[in-house]
């Protein structure tokens, strides 16, 4: 079997070397038929799994993007308000350990919201 494959392979290589135009012509015909077949398959028999990744909407006049931005603004305003209260508490020297953890959390959350804009 192995010798048969080697002999057949040598025969095809010799034919390709003797007739490069014919080999190129057959290769292009096979590639063209394959391309046309894949186009027909894609158009008439589309796959069930569609492209599910949705690119982010950068410029849009719809209200969804505006509502999301205004929702983030509201959350950021709440965070700033709470940080101001904690600052006043710090000025009165009444901070506790839980407050410092809360400040750190609020600051990180504010930075995340600010970077996601």
Which pLDDT band holds residue 48 (cuts at 50, 70, 90)?
A: confident
Q: Provide the Cα torsion 68, 66, 78, 116; round to 10°.
A: 60
Cβ contact 113:77 at 8 Å: no
Residue 117 CA to residue 115 CA, distance in Å, equals: 6
Q: Is the dihedral of CA 45, 51, 57, 58 positive or negative?
A: negative
Confidence at residue 61, expressed as pLDDT on a 0 to 100 scale: 61
- What pTM was estimated for this model as a whole? 0.41
Residue 10 CA to residue 16 CA, distance in Å, equals: 10
Summarised one tens digit per residue, pLDDT across range 7-31 is: 998 998 898 889 889 989 999 999 9
Confidence at residue 35, expressed as pLDDT on a 0 to 100 scale: 96
């Amino acid at each position: 079997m192995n010798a048969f494959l080697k002999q057949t392979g040598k025969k095809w290589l010799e034919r390709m070397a003797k007739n490069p135009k014919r080999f190129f012509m057959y290769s292009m015909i096979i590639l063209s038929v394959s391309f046309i077949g894949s186009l027909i398959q894609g158009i008439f028999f589309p796959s069930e799994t569609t492209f599910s990744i949705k690119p982010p909407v950068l410029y849009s006049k719809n209200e969804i993007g505006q509502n999301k931005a205004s929702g983030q603004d509201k959350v950021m305003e709440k965070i700033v308000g709470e940080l101001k209260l904690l600052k006043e508490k710090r000025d009165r020297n009444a901070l506790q350990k839980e407050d410092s953890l809360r400040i750190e959390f609020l600051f990180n959350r504010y930075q995340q919201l600010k970077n996601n804009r």
